[in-house]
Structure 1
Amino acid sequence: MLKQQNFFDRNIPAWKQVLFLSWPTIVELLLQTAVNYVDTAMVGSIGVNATAAVSITMSTIWLINGFMNAVGIGYSVLAARSIGEGNYEQAKVIIRQSILAIGVAGIFLTLIVTLFIAPNLPAWMHAEKEVVPLARSYLRIIGMGYLFNISLIVCSNLLRCAGDTKTPMKFNILTNIINVVGNYLLIYPSKEIQLFGKNFLLQRAGLGVSGAAAATSMSIAFSGIGLLLILFLRQTPYQISLKEDFSPDRFIIRRAIRLAVPTAMERMTISFGQIAATSMITGLGTMALSANLLADTGEKICYLPVYGFATAGTTLVAQSLGAEEKDLALHYGRWCNRLGIIVMLVTSTAMFLFAVPIIDLFTDDTETILLAAQMLRIEAFAEPLLAIGVVLGGVLRGAGDTRWPFVISLLGMWVVRLPLAYTLIHLFDWGLAAVWGAAIADWAVRAAISCHRFYHKKWMTQKV
């Protein structure tokens, strides 16, 4: 049986508990970023149109992934509360209900993306005619894997909130390996290679952008199925069985929806804002669109590690409040925030210093490299503000206080970032720098409101 970590042992320093939970998630996210780098470089080698096609779809894909993550948050916070209480039977009921949600939501998303969104999105985004068929194909193939994708996301959330962050990390490593190998075999055409003095024909599919999407979907299918099997096969206090009752439980479903809806609305707020920002950038030309994608990809190496501390905050706060250890929940929240800021200061400094070499990994176009590197250096000074918003958002979600992260995101994106970016583009002619500069103001607002909510402690009495 998998050994459960005791998060209520006060002899273990809080920072050690935070690191115990966060480091596998940080490793997982860094590996994801490394593979995203490889993906971007492989797609970028096909040409600027291929890079632009992927860029067109990214905000929408992030929006849909956010919806799937909201489902995971809804059920995983409930499960973590039950585990903190020591009520494993209730935790098992919640996990079984989450399996039903995976099936229903996965089928719905697959149908709506492949049949409606993929054919129309490039036109909505005013993509150039050479980019349209590539973007349609890419998104349609990605959509075909959404049943497995939501399984991956929900099951990973459940395991992390139960205190098991290592299993999702291990599956992520395997997923990344499958994705990179799949990219190599599916993106490029066949070619002749020399091995031990003899020539061989290396058979490859030559599918281009569609091959990149197919490799992603196949690797996600592997992990989605594998993590689902873990919940059924691994001996844990919350192990489930097909022999148990899987009929819908309206009470649990309603509770999960109350937690998930604000999280989904938060992600929709951010994603629709990013789609609006991408539409602004599209009007600046293909080079600006490509530079934006490359800068965003480069920036991930800086900010993704703090999501490990946000995940740790969600788990530790949920379990602590489930055990009615409110002072411990506050203590863990503070440490998650401190460590997130420290890590972000280190990574943002590295991003500023090595901006050009980072972007140089993905393209040979000098103008695109310089423009994307400029965006990274603009943003480097504000990354600690982003860390505060991200980590404290995870803490509030663990408490079941999912409405405030939504309100904070709504204000930051739609009241601050987008109006400011539009003004800087059209009145001051700042170009791409307007969008990235406006993001700094957005993050400052989010950090200020998040700190106000956290330190006033109302989240500690939130009912779930």
Structure 2
Amino acid sequence: MTGSEKLNLIVALSMPSILAQITSVLMFYIDASMVGSLGAEASASIGIVEPATWLFGSLVSACSMGFYVQAAHFIGAKDFAQARRVMQHGYIFGLAVALILMTVGIVIASPLPRLLGGGADIQGDATTYFLILSMAAPIHLIENLSSQMLKVSGDMRHPSVIAVAMCFADVFFNFLFIFPTREITLLALHIKVFGFGLGVAGAAIGTLLAYLFACVPLLYYAVFKSKILAWRLSKGPFRWNAEYITSAVKLGAPMALQYLLMNGAQIVSTMIVAPLGNFAIAANSFAVTAESLCYMPGYGIGDAATTLVGQSVGARRKDLCKSFAHMTVILGMIVMAFMGLLMYIFAPEMIGILSPVPEIRALGTQVLRIEAFAEPFFAASIVAYSVCIGAGDTAVPSFINLGSMWFVRLTLAAALAPVYGLPGVWFAMATELTVRGILFLIRLLRGKWMRKIEDPIKTTE
């Protein structure tokens, strides 16, 4: 392949995924905006438990990853039968893990906001929000695994279209469940709109139903319609193969540990922010949501990198692995540098959409502009990490993420927060993301992430 052909392929795979990532973030953006209209306490009640909800979602993603990386390697080796078997094992094992996570979430939902430092005025709503989203774990597992399996098979279109539809569904469900029955004016017409008026709980219910809305068609396309993965293409009865589970655990365990400690670090970071008050908690949560609009293109390019590198590993094409890795990382850094510039310029508007409270807007604008300078290196860490996942190299990247988070970000944040408040916490974050990006660039250039390309891949007739 020529350089232009590789670039066209990267862009063709990235664009649908970028669209899907952006619409996914818009879903959370809309959630935050709707809840933000209810006031600072409602926003803080979500913000205090948000890192814990990310942790559960990340553990579900780590479980999925152990299976879709194997599938990518088998697809690259043209062994579609084993790719389908891996997928079947992924649903069974993944649902078992998701049910365990759901049970843990139900148990810890009540004491969690208090343990994280939330005040009595937000603990009730925070508990309800976390409890409802914990019950979404099995649905999220099926949605995530189905989407990722389709992507590594080369089908970016269906997951992307469904992600956009999920965003619109989330808006509908939020309007229905968050707000009470009310009268709105549309084109000089006064229309009565029904609503349940559940507030923060309504936001959680809306998100759960949006996941369910996406889960069903994704499962249908992955299991019944995919030209590579559809189960009807397999011959013979299903047979349990513990080796797939062992391989998935070897791939996913370092990632699960990383997510556990990374999101644990986010929880500690929230505990550092909590004493700064409800305005700081809400501004921190809104700024994270606003910033995610800027780094989602990096994750979209990362999806393309995982697919292309994973299939190149399966085909034993070391030259393609290296070329796709370098091109996707460079493209990600360019795109996110531009997004960082936009974030710096439009920070007041980005936060203004989310909250009408002046104190929250001022703090949110300040921290977003601090973070804007770290976006190119954040891109390097996102895409290079995705490259490593595609190559089955998960241990060292996990240590890089953990080390930078715990020894750079949290150390600096704990030292700066009492003196500089929330801006100090975000300066620590920007510094850590820059360090992490540099470490991943070093990992990428040294090439040790490609060592597994030499490993033999078992195939079946």
Alignment-derived partner of residue 157 in structure 1: 148
Partner of 2:372: 380
In the other structure, the counterpart of 1:59 is 51
Q: Give secondary structure in 2 for the equivalent of 1:191.
A: strand
Alpha-carbon distance in structure 1 between the residues aligned to 2:184 and 2:349: 30
TM-aligned CA deviation for residue 397 of structure 1: 0.7
The letter of the residue matching 2:77 is E
SS class of match (2:121): coil
Instruction: Give the direction of change, closer, same or farther, for the CA distance of 1:194–1:319 in structure 2 (3 Å limit).
Output: closer
Following the alignment from structure 2 to structure 1, what is the Cα–Cα distance between the partners of residues 89 and 252?
Answer: 14
Looking at structure 2, the residues matched to 221 and 424 of structure 1 have their Cα atoms a distance apart, in angstroms, of: 42
Q: Quick one: which of 138, 143, 154 aligns to 2:134?
A: 143
CA positional deviation for 1:425: 2.4
Equivalent residue, structure 1, for 2:305: 313
Query: Conserved in 1, the CA contact under 8 Å of 2:35 and 2:43?
Result: yes
> Which stretches in structure 2 are left out of the alignment for 5+ residues?
none
Instruction: Check if 1:436 corresponds to 2:426.
Output: yes
Asked if the contact 2:64–2:94 (Cα under 8 Å) also holds between the matched residues in 1, the reply is no
2:271 counterpart residue number:
279
1:456/1:194 CA distance change after superposition, 3 Å: closer
Matched, 1:105 2:70: no
What does 1:62-73 correspond to in 2, within 5 Å? 62-73=54-65
Among 287, 291, 300, the residue aligned to 1:299 = 291
Structure 1 pair 328–199 and aligned structure 2 pair: CA distance change class (3 A): closer
Aligned match of 2:158: 167
Q: Which residue of 2 aligns with 1:3?
A: none
Q: Which runs of 4+ in 1 moved over 6 A?
A: 194-199
Q: In 2, Cα distance between the equivalents of 1:301 and 1:188?
A: 25
Distance 2:22 2:187 in 1: 36
- 8 Å CA contact 2:149, 2:222 repeated in 1: no
* Residues matched between the structures, number: 453
How far did 1:456 drift?
Answer: 1.2
Matched, 1:459 2:459: no
Q: 2:28 aligns with which of 33, 36, 56?
A: 36
How far apart are residue 404 of structure 1 and its match? 1.6
Q: Structure 1 residues 88 and 203, CA, compared in 2 at 3 Å: closer, same or farther? A: same
CA drift of 1:247 comes to 4.3
Q: 2:73 aligns to what? A: 81
Amino acid at match of 1:121: L
Give 2:198's match in structure 1, choosing from 207, 222, 235: 207
- Pick which of 72-81 and 243-252 moved more: 243-252
With normalisation by structure 1, the TM-score equals: 0.94
Equivalent residue runs for 1:100-139 within 5 Å: 100-114=92-106, 116-139=107-130
Within 2, Cα distance between the matches of 1:214 and 1:362?
Answer: 20
More helix by share: 2
Answer yes or no: is the 8 Å Cα contact 1:97–1:246 preserved in 2.
no
8 Å contact kept, 1:77–1:400: yes
Q: Equivalents in 2 of 1:299, 1:336: separation in Å?
A: 21
2:342 aligned residue (331, 343, 350): 350
Superposed displacement of residue 195, structure 1: 7.9
TM-superposed deviation, 1:35: 2.3
2:193 paired with 1:187: no
State the partner residue of 2:224: 233
Using the TM superposition, give the Cα deviation of residue 147 of structure 1 relative to its aligned residue in structure 2, in angstroms: 1.0
CA–CA separation in structure 2 for the residues paired with 1:323 and 1:130: 57
Report the Cα distance in structure 1 between the residues aligned to 2:62 and 2:392, rounded to whole angstroms. Answer: 12
- Does the aligned pair in 1 maintain the 2:273–2:417 contact within 8 Å? no
SS at match of 2:120: coil
In structure 2, give the amino acid aligned to 1:75.
F
Q: Tell whether 2:374 aligns with 1:403.
A: no
Give 1:282 deviation, angstroms. Answer: 0.3
Identity %: 32
1:200 Cα shift?
5.8
* Distance in 1 of aligned mates of 2:439 and 2:369: 25
SS of 2:181's partner is strand
Amino acid at match of 1:446: R
Q: Which residue of the other structure, out of 247, 250, 253, is the alignment partner of 1:255?
A: 247
Residue 322 of structure 1 corresponds to 314
Q: Distance in 1 between matches of 2:79 and 2:166?
A: 33
Q: 1:339 aligns with which of 315, 331, 343?
A: 331
Of 81, 86, 97 in structure 2, the residue corresponding to residue 94 of structure 1 is 86
Give yes or no for contact 1:50–1:134 (8 Å, CA) kept in 2: yes
Equivalent pair of 2:40/2:357 in contact (CA under 8 Å): no
Deviation at 1:134, TM superposition (A): 0.2
State the 1:237 CA deviation. Answer: 2.4
Please give the TM-score of this superposition, normalised by the length of structure 2. 0.94
SS at match of 1:203: strand
Which deviations, in whole Å up to 9, do the C-alpha atoms of 1:53-103 show, x marking residues without a partner?
A: 111121011111111111121111100100000111111111111111232
1:75–1:98 Cα contact (<8 Å) kept: yes
**Inter-partner Cα distance in structure 1 for 2:3 and 2:437:** 31
In 2, Cα distance between equivalents of 1:252 and 1:460: 21
Aligned to 2:354, what secondary structure does the other structure show? coil
User: 1:446: which partner in 2?
Assistant: 436
Counterpart of 1:412? 404
CA distance in 1: counterparts of 2:438 and 2:143, whole angstroms: 33
**Partners in 1 of 2:50 and 2:190 — Cα distance?**
40
Aligned residue number for residue 6 of structure 1: none
The Cα shift of 1:361 comes to 0.7
CA distance in 1, matches of 2:162, 2:266: 29
Code of the aligned partner of 1:36: F
Distance 2:183 2:451 in 1: 66
Report if aligned partners of 2:294, 2:339 keep a CA contact under 8 Å in 1: yes
Output the amino acid matched with 1:172.
A
**Of 193-202 and 238-247, the range deviating more from structure 2:** 193-202
Change (3 A) 1:46 1:275: same
- Asked if structure 1 preserves the Cα contact closer than 8 Å seen for 2:16 and 2:157, the reply is yes
Residues 60 and 137 in structure 2, CA contact (< 8 A), matched pair in contact too = no
Please, which runs of 5 or more residues in structure 1 have no aligned partner?
1-8
Say whether residues 1:222 and 2:213 are aligned partners.
Answer: yes
Deviates more, 1:220-229 or 1:90-99: 220-229
